[in-house]
Amino acid sequence: EDKVVQSPLSLVVHEGDTVTLNCSYEVTNFRSLLWYKQEKKAPTFLFMLTSSGIEKKSGRLSSILDKKELSSILNITATQTGDSAIYLCAVEAWNAGNMLTFGGGTRLMVKP
C-alpha cells in the first residue's frame, strides 16, 4: 500500500523566517510527487516533481525531490502571513489509474 508522511504536523514561525516542510513516501513504481497549498477550502497546485524534473522554484517557494531518500522538501524563504496554510504532498505511481496518495499535510502559521 502506498504511503505518504509529512512532517512536521504543524509549524509556527514569524514573518521573514525560512521554513522547510518534509514529505517522505513509500510507493511502488513512483511516477510523480505534487505539492498543494490549501488556505481555506480548495487546494491549489504548487509544483510537480518527476524523475526528469527534480527541482522546481517559483518566487520564494522551491521544492526538491530526492529519489534516493524517497522524499521531498518544500522551502519557503522570507515567509509572509499569506503563506499561512496547510501544505499537502501527494504521490502518483505508474499504472495507478490517475490515483494520488496524499499525506496528512503540514499546517503552517506565519505570525506578523
Contacting positions for other proteins (CB under 8 A): 4, 6, 9, 31-32, 34, 36, 41-45, 48, 88, 90, 92, 97-100, 102-105
- CB nearer to other proteins: give 9 or 69: 9
CB of 98 to other proteins, least distance (A): 5
CB of 37 to other proteins, least distance (A): 11
* DSSP E strand boundaries for 8-84: 10-14, 19-26, 30-38, 44-50, 55-58, 61-66, 71-76
C-beta closer to other proteins: residue 17 or 22? 22
Distance CA 111, CA 84 (A): 9
* 81 φ/ψ angles, rounded to the nearest 5 degrees: -60, -30
Is the CB of 19 or the CB of 90 nearer to other proteins? 90
Least distance (Å) from other proteins to the CB of residue 43? 5
The least distance separating other proteins from the CB of residue 42, rounded to whole angstroms, comes to: 4
Q: Which is nearer to other proteins, 102 or 109 (CB)?
A: 102
Residues 6+ apart with CB under 8 A from 6: 21, 22, 23, 24, 87, 88, 89, 103, 104, 105, 106
DSSP annotation of 44 reads: E
